[in-house]
Amino acid sequence: MTRNAAYLLSLVLAFSLGFPGGLAFADEQAAEEDPVKTAYELQMEIEERQAAYAEARAEADEASAAIEADQERIDELEREIPKQQERSAAAARELYKFQQQSVGIIDLLLSAGSFQDFIAELEYVNKISDASIAEMNRLQDLKDEIVTTQNGMKGKRAEADARAEDARLAMVAAQEAQAEVQRRIEEEARQQAQIAAQAEAMAAAERDNDSGEPATPETGTVAEPAVEAQPEAPVEEPASTSSSEDVAAAPQTPSQDAYTGEDDYVAEWAKRIDAYLAGSPLAGQGLMFAKAAYEYGVDPRFSPAISYTESGKGQYCFQSHNAWGWGSSSWDSWEEAIYDHVAGLSRGYGGQISIEGAKKYCPPNWKLWYERTLGQMEMI
């Protein structure tokens, strides 16, 4: 082996040991030396953020329910106020007339036949006066209750919305960090593959020179790394031997920040996914795909596109509601299946299509799987 070939091979080994997604025994060393969070740590953080966001949304829903109850009470009070205004006005008139016609305490005492009669007359006067005043106070109490309830509604809504938005921003930040780590891993994987291919080409050239045969190195060809088979069902197509350099680059996952909020994001992608799935067993599930994608930070096109590659959008499922060749799983409904599959794409595949992910999802025919799925994503 020449000095150049040996040098390249040493670069490959050195690069592999420093690569975060490379040799397993280097993971602990990389974690100690690199303060940046690993992809696994980020995924755990994302799941925590997702749980916090779901909790905040649940609290917001509870606050909305309380606000609805408060609004019903306000509506009831506003319907009662006109009637109470009439009663209060009538009570004020009656009290005024009574006070004009009433005699003084001394006169009442002198006119009474007995002390018991005096007490009875005095109680009667007080009851009339108290009843009139109570009617007038009741009107003000109703108005005060409306103001208090309205202020409480504003506080509940503002607090619930603030908590939900804080949780959403934290979740988005974690998802963006994960996407950056995934991008870095894929870039380093491509560089590693290129160095390995160049080293192999030079080593092959050296062997040919030693044997006296002309050298015919295939410069630039990337050797495919061995990938452990996963439980997901492969595409039933002949295996491809093409390299990673021959396939199209994965698209960027749509940024949630490009939308005004979850409702805007879900409405847009639900419509596009429904159009894509029209006429298939998965028709009408765009809303579920979009909601799950937003919640787990997954490209909203990823799961629907895989359903085409694996089952023709749900037409040929080998297990109940399993449109994705997802191991031996089965579900009772599309809604459950969609959420579980999208969550799995978030945990195991970074939430977006990639060459490395294709090799993991469908090892025997990864290139065909990747190109077919990517083509379907571009149609959504």
Which sequence spans correspond to the domains of the chain? 1-223, 229-380
Residue 315's pLDDT band (cuts 50, 70, 90): very high
d(CA 302, CA 98): 81
CA distance 205 to 193: 18
Taking only the tens place, the pLDDT of each residue in 299-312 is 999 999 999 999 99
When mean pLDDT is compared across 91-100, 128-137, 214-223, the lowest value belongs to 214-223
Rounded to whole angstroms, how far apart are CA atoms 345 and 337? Answer: 12
Predicted TM-score (pTM) of this structure: 0.43
Q: Is the pLDDT of residue 23 over 90?
A: no
In order of 18, 268, 285, 337, 378, the CA distances from 272 in angstroms are 42, 7, 11, 20, 11
CB neighbours of residue 238 within 10 Å: 9
Q: Which residue has the tokens 């917001």?
A: 60
Amino acid 309 reads T
CA-nearest of 20, 54, 26, 22 to 40 is 20
Average the pLDDT over each of 52-56, 225-229, 239-243, 345-349 and give the range with the smallest value. 225-229
In the prediction, which pLDDT does 298 show?
95
Angstrom CA distances, 59 to 54, 65, 149, 165, 168, stand at: 9, 10, 19, 12, 13
CB of 318 closer than 8 Å to CB of 233 = yes
pLDDT of 337 above 90? yes
DSSP letters for 76-93: HHHHHHHHHHHHHHHHHH
Inter-helix orientation angle 366-377/302-311, to 10°: 130
**Rg over CA atoms, the chain:** 37
pLDDT of 181: 67
Residue 58 burial (CB count, 10 A): 12
**Size of the chain, expressed as the number of residues it contains:** 380
CA-based max dimension of the chain: 145
Of 241, 343, 252, residue with least CA distance to 291: 343
> What is the spatial distance between Cα 285 and Cα 177, in angstroms, rounded to a whole number?
29
Tens-place pLDDT, residues 147-202? 888 887 777 777 877 877 877 787 777 777 767 766 776 777 677 777 877 777 77
Cα(29)–Cα(18) distance, rounded to whole angstroms? 9
Q: Point out the least confidently predicted range of 238-242, 266-270, 280-284, 285-289.
A: 238-242
**Cβ-based burial of 12 (10 A; exposed 0-12, middle 13-18, buried ≥19):** middle
Between CA 46 and CA 171 the distance in angstroms is: 6
- pLDDT at position 20: 36
